[in-house]
Amino acid sequence: MSECQPYSRTLSCGTLRVTPTSGMHNLEDLFDMAERRNPKRAFLFVSKVLGRHIPVAPGIMRSVYRQLAEQFPTLDTGPVLFIGMAETAVGLGAGVFDETRHRAAEPVYLTSTRHPVPGELLCEFKENHSHATDHLIYLPDDAELRRRVVNARTLVLIDDEATTGNTFINLLEALQNAGLSQLTRVVAVTLTDWSGDALATRCTLPVETVSLVQGDWHWEPNPDAPIPVMPAVNVTATGSVPITGRQSWGRLGMTMPRADLGLQIAPHIGEKILVLGTGEFVWEPFLLAERLEKAGADVKYSSTTRSPIATGFAIQSAIAFADNYGLGIPNYVYNVAHQQFDRILLCSETPAASIDPALLDALRQVAPRVEVITHD
């Protein structure tokens, strides 16, 4: 398929058509479609390079981070505040930050979160179409990183895709209302950008956009399709299970990766390994997967999610289980149950005992060795 060829998928709930306008990637190399179990938006762009809903080689993910970083404008107006959007783009944001931090003035990376942690809340904002609408952003606990956030002049917003620009606008307004008054420019970074000039038109600051492909989309709903029932996953709260993992990857600020998870793990050459992050805890697990791949293993990376997606189309299999934070909400692993691996490394920022036995049992049907990796 050439990069200029439109993309079309007919789901049970309607038909989505995407017409690329620029970018050098074939659309089918970047994403496929699935149906959300969400009455607010019935379709979902399922990325083939993100490492969230489809397992992907870490080397492919790293190449995407570099391709996005190569498109960046000069970042000499600092401090430069990078923000990755929970939960889907936490790892993407960290990867883009990792590839650009060396040439950014006073860089700092933050993520939004749906897991309250001890610290000073900077702001809250909403992602209106999401299965979990409420986001929190905390000030870093480190004084220098906090100074960079408060005095930021360049804002880099990172998400997996943009369709309307609403989420970025909501976040920018929340940051300005929280006192970030020195912002002079915005860089909006996505894998795929279907928002046209919506962000630039509505934004109060100059906007530069970075993405792998851009285009227009049209959704034609099926009026006879039943309205999906969404599981109760719209929870932003502290669960009954404590977070014991190090807060060094973005929720409370980051300037460089620690890369200290699972250092004791040594793979066999050619060993087929799946590394799974959990929820928002995805950056350090990715770095573990990348290290194992460089050591000669055949590695795929993916992660658990609270996003409720129907099986079919891009979702070939699904495992449902209880979350590991003690929130009492369903979580999912997609496109793993129909595969086979030699070993699965499930990485968690909560204690190993918090992992639902149902998830471990399901993963043992996929691999003879299943290990829970924590910082404990």
pLDDT at 212: 95
User: 15-69: per-residue pLDDT in tens?
Assistant: 989 888 888 788 889 999 998 877 777 888 899 999 999 999 999 999 999 999 9
User: 110-123: per-residue pLDDT in tens?
Assistant: 999 999 999 999 99
Question: CA nearest 66: which of 99, 33, 102, 88?
Answer: 99
Query: 90-100 vs 58-70: helix axis angle to the nearest 10?
Result: 60
Mean pLDDT (whole number) for 80-99: 97
Contact 40, 62 (CB under 8 A): no
Average pLDDT value for the chain:
92
Structure tokens at 304: 């658990």
Confidence of residue 4 (pLDDT cuts 50, 70, 90): low
Mean pLDDT (whole number) for 336-364: 98
Check pLDDT > 70 for residue 277: yes
pLDDT at 189: 96
pLDDT at 165: 83
Contact 70, 62 (CB under 8 A): no
pLDDT at 199: 84
Mean pLDDT (whole number) for 288-302: 98
Mean pLDDT (whole number) for 343-370: 98
User: 132-160: per-residue pLDDT in tens?
Assistant: 568 899 999 999 999 999 999 999 999 99
Confidence of residue 204 (pLDDT cuts 50, 70, 90): confident
Confidence of residue 128 (pLDDT cuts 50, 70, 90): low
pLDDT at 218: 86
DSSP one-letter string for 150-213: HT--EEEEEEEEESSSHHHHHHHHHHHHTT-TT--EEEEEEEEE--TTHHHHH-SS-EEEE-SE
CA geometry: angle at 358 spanning 357 and 364, to 5°? 85
Confidence of residue 12 (pLDDT cuts 50, 70, 90): confident
pLDDT at 25: 80
pLDDT at 2: 43
Contact 255, 108 (CB under 8 A): yes
Query: 283-294 vs 90-100: helix axis angle to the nearest 10?
Result: 60
**Rg for the chain (alpha carbons), in Å?**
20
Provide, rounded to the nearest whole percent, the portion of the chain with pLDDT above 90.
73
